[in-house]
Structure 1
Amino acid sequence: MFFRWCAALALLVALAMAISPASAYAERTLALSAGSFAFEVDPGQEKSGEVVVINESDEPIRVLVYTSDQIIDEEGEITYKTPDRDDPDFARRPTSWVRIQMPAEARAIGNTPYLEMAPGQRIPVKFVFQPPLNAAPGDQNVILFFEMFDMPEGTEGAITQVRGRIGSRLQMRVTGEHIERMSIRPFIVPGFVIGNQIPFDLTLRNEGNLDQRLSVAVVLFDRNDVEIARSEPHLASVVFAGSNRRLQDEIASDRQLFGPYNVQAEVYRVDEEGKIIEQPEQLLESRSVWIIPLWAVVALGAAVLILLARGAWHVLRVRSGKNQKLDARAEARRRRREERER
């Protein structure tokens, strides 16, 4: 009887899972009307824009709305920092230029506003920004984030779990003297390589005040400037004003190479679709490398071993001959002594 009851219970559980609504496993999806904005603005001038937030899931969601500065390290890795008004550097950060204008129905957790969105609902969120009168010319970027989260029922001001976030980039180009200057420093290629893979390590440096969308190709040429192979470690990506981007990769050839070759880094300005933009001067850096095929190294090693073996054999023969002569002399002396004793 007990086993029948267990079997019936298992069947009921299986049926319940089979007929349970798909919404129990529904994915929450958030979308934005625009992923980026680009503005040109004078110091002290005020401009505005609007992002429409869309709940594309079939259940209600809560969405935090806030701005963040992007922090870029020496190798080009980006992290995002939420502004702190108590930070002494807050007034110098571009997030201090931006104000979010939330709709009337918005709520807040602490100082951070959030939206409660029904399935399929679309809510416009407006923003206003104004660079200070002493703002430096060039590009500044702020990310307007929209972050889904859960909050326990019947509580206020407590976030239990973040469900993911998306952002819209606000690029603000302050008018004035604009400088476009890129360099490659360092560009490291080994001077001697065994095999057909040539590693490289280079850093793109945006020394101007404008963001640059770039593609980079590292090309291997022979002594007649014929292209042998190429690597494209950076395609149509932005190197932000005043920042670096480190690229490490290798060029691999399907041919056996031997002798001196040239490795050249080529930097191209491109549009958002990756098409090359003509420019008066192209940024190029070259390095020389000697390439030795692996079979040549193996053959050389084998030849060295053979020479060492022959040398050792010759030394042994010489030593053996000397020992035989010494033995013959000793035998002759022994016979002379025996003859004298007789």
Structure 2
Amino acid sequence: MNAKERNTDVFFLPLIAIVLGLALGAVIMLLGGYDPIAAYRALLNKAFGSMYNFGETIRQITPLILTGLAVAFAFRTGLFNIGAEGQFLVGSLASLYVGVEWTFLPTVLHAAAAVAAGALAGAFWGALVGYAKAKRGVHEVITSIMLNWIALFFVNYMVKTFFLPAGQQRSVAVAETSYLNIPFVTELFSNARLSFGFVIALLCAVFFHYYLFRTKGGFELRAVGFNRHAAQYAGMNVNGGIVRAMAISGAFAGIAGAVEVLGVFHYQSVLTVSPGYGFQGIAVAMIGGTAAFGTVLGAVLMGILTFGAAGMKFGANVPPELVNIVIALIIFFLAASGIIKPVTRWFRARKQRKEAA
């Protein structure tokens, strides 16, 4: 298979998996006595039926882009970052601290500092995983999963100890100077919780692609991921590359946590369970083929499905849990790509026959 055919598969495999997942989900709805057309129509109406819902859909997409980029970046460098959830949480805590305490900064600088704090906290949490892998040989999946739980309890402890008013379940609010919300955009989308975080997420996707494929550092990280022994033989710093890759990956997830605190809630809740954005990021990265642009599209799909699920319940009386089945089916078809690769080969052979004729 040449490079052009591989690129074609990268585009068509996720597309076919999405179509098959939606189609099989429709069959399951029919078997359950539900109208799939009404269900999908209600889902889309919930996601795009008003300016408020449209803004909330974008708000749902934003953290999924960032956590998806976190997972995809690590995967591109030969690593599995299952710790985006923990990196998301520590990023939210760091941005909360700066948003509450650094009130001496003017508006734009305060927001930028709070986002940077989230990125640095997430990078530090990711670098811990990279260091354990590089220096001690501990597999990153084990370390990152363990650090997810540590992050959850650590963030809860810090919020309860330093930021929680008596008798409340959420912290004091960050200062308005740290908000990522833009007033005229908020008014345009009927007070939806849409913020500048969406632009930040898109800029992170641009950075992802540019750094990996247009810089020497990105080339070294990809080389380490492809074959660390060959990279070491070529004189590259393999251990340093592992730590750097996990730090950048964690920074994306940390920014996601900062965006949620500064642009959506303006406080940090005491959590009994993790919010789940880090784990959803794994699915987003898979759907997007671990590419920057593909991850953005995967987040768009996931955001529409998850936010629109409520519309299926109230608009078509379809249990919103069926959306999770559809998402699982899409991931299944992606993971079992051998099932759908014959379809892409058939389309390719058909195109070649037409060109030959």
Q: Provide the TM-score with structure 2 as the length reference.
A: 0.18
Larger proportion of strand: 1
Q: Provide the TM-score with structure 1 as the length reference.
A: 0.19
Larger proportion of helix: 2
Tell which has more relative contact order, 1 or 2 (C-alpha 8 A, sep 6+): 2
